[in-house]
Amino acid sequence: MSKERYLQNKKRVYEIYGIDPKDKRYNTHHILFKSDFKKGGFAKELGARYRDSKANLCPLRKEEHRELHAKLDR
């Protein structure tokens, strides 16, 4: 998916959550990661278009996002 489409979806997700898209305290978390789509299984069946879709994006505060990825990396 193009970066332009990702940014449009990101902006819409922030609006849905009631977050100002320009608020620098937040990052966008992909629920399913790029690597999930390469491994096969249900994520691969969803297709690459799903990766940056609104359904796969979740805004998180930057510190929460870092903590989540630290836990996932363990």
pTM for this model (two decimals) = 0.81
Print pLDDT tens along the chain (74 aa). 588 999 999 999 999 999 999 999 999 999 988 788 777 777 777 877 788 899 999 999 999 999 999 998 88
Q: Are 30 and 57 in contact (CB under 8 A)?
A: yes
Q: Which residues contact 54 (CB under 8 A, 6 or more apart)?
A: 9, 12, 13, 16
Residue 20 per-residue DSSP state: -
